[in-house]
Amino acid sequence: MAILFLPLMLLSITEVSGQSILKRVKNKVEQTVGDKVVDKADKAVAKGVDKVMGVEAEEGSQSPSPASEIESESAVTPSSLLKAYSKYDFIPGDSVIYAADFSSEALSELPAGWNTNGNSSVVQLEGLPGQWLRIAQKTVNLTDNRNDFGADFTVEFDAFMQFTFKGWYPPSLRFGLFASGVEDPSGNRLLSDPKGDKSLYMELSPMANGANILLESYRKNTRHFHSPVKSAPSAQGWYARVVHVAMQAQKERLRIWIDGEKMYDIPKAIPSEDVYNQLFFQLGSSSYTDEQVGVYVSNIKIAKGMPDARHQLVEEGRFSTSGILFDVGSAVIKPESSGVLNTIGEVLKQNPDMQVRIVGHTDASGEEKANQLLSEQRAEAVKGFLSSRFSIEDGRLESTGKGETEPVGDNRTREGMAQNRRVEFIRL
């Protein structure tokens, strides 16, 4: 099963003796995952995975890659990514209950509290910020979450996927949820069959020219919903770069976005009984070696609630969100923030007399002065986006930052820090 990813960055190409080296991904104990050399004379230049821990692919090993795939990757630009999110309407829940970016985890190890039936482990990818969980083939991977999601919730994560296409199918990837019932949500029994009292999953089977996808849900072992397998040509642009996956549950309704595109909106996909409390990632098997398969996830966030930004800002005069995301340590707004920003922009357009103060907040990591400046810069970036995209007059918007001085969560926990990294909109 393949995975979904939101565009975050384009990776570098190094040409050596007429060949484009796809640098191997490698963790601290010399495990390598990544693509091999693509023969430029036969296939043209392909994008590659930057090396991890400084190790490159061996010269001379070749892995044919269809020209159509290469052209698709080359077509991905920052402007095209923003365009892809122009109709993105995902808004995350307003109370973060689980967060994991693996920043404090030991390399080459499974994250603390997680469970797996294989050798999945934390790695660093050169050229990409942070740390990532490499999903090994033939494994189920369970998080360390212990909280119920509730009836209304959202799930988000970033994913990076790189395959060697040699004429047969790479492994398929399932990502999904289950309600563990009386079982331990990360217990061994649920590794062999991640269904529990109820479950759902999306499966993505990658191909060089796209992917096949399907969605299923279960009440115990009885299938509750099944969507026929459908072709997703847009998946051709998901490989070899970071993409963002978002899921939104509202009672029985389920919506899933990948790379800003709404893949599913099913009114009764979720069984009404029981409550989800676990997220899992399951990668199948294939004829490829582990060195030819790279599937990674990071920046996981699960949040309760279904915030009504329009009502909160217009009627209550204040809306706070952790759904406006920025590049690490910067004020560059990520494309997956478009859902929240589009909603705020429409509210401002429909209420031409409304004036709003935009307030940036950070967590307590780093120096206080730097956090203060960063919060101000981020608030100003949001102001600039709204002014430019929705033609909002400068006089209607003002911005300021509070740094780390007004936390709403515990900065000693991952979830509290994620909640503290937020932007407030206050009606004046």
> Between 418 and 32, where is the model more confident?
418
Give dist(CA 358, CA 348) in Å, integer: 13
231: nearest Cα among 202, 259, 209, 260? 209
Reported confidence tier of residue 371, pLDDT bands at 50, 70, 90: very high
| Residue of 296, 292, 244, 239 whose CA lies nearest to 124 | 296
Average pLDDT over residues 325-344: 93
324, 382 in Cβ contact below 8 A?
yes
pLDDT at 51: 33
Question: What would the pLDDT profile of 409-424 be if each residue is shown by its tens digit?
Answer: 999 999 999 999 999 9
Query: If you average pLDDT over residues 249-278, what whole number do you get?
Result: 97
pLDDT at 83: 62
> What is the pLDDT, as a whole number, of residue 20?
29
CB 333 within 8 A of CB 211: no
Report which of 1, 71, 5, 68 is spatially closest to residue 261, judged by C-alpha positions. Answer: 5
For the chain, what's the residue count? 428
- The neighbouring-strand residues paired with 346 are none
Pair of tokens at residue 302: 């699960």
Tell me the average pLDDT across 102-129.
Answer: 96
Cα–Cα distance measured from residue 362 to residue 374, given in angstroms and rounded to the nearest whole number: 8
Q: Strand, helix or coil at 314?
A: helix
Indicate the average pLDDT of the chain.
Answer: 84
Cα separation, 276 vs 343, in Å, equals 28
Whole-number CA gyration radius for the chain: 21
**pLDDT 10s digits, 122-147:** 999 989 999 999 999 999 999 999 99
Q: Give the pLDDT confidence of 211-246 residue by residue, as tens digits.
A: 999 999 999 999 999 999 999 999 999 999 999 999
The residue behind tokens 């920052």 is: 78
Which backbone phi and psi does 321 adopt, to 5 degrees?
A: -145, 145
User: Cα separation of 408 and 420, whole Å?
Assistant: 6
Domains and CATH numbers, the chain: 84-304 (2.60.120.560), 309-427 (3.30.1330.60)
Q: Does 201 score more than 60 pLDDT? A: yes
Tokens in use for 33? 């995952």
Average pLDDT over residues 272-301: 96
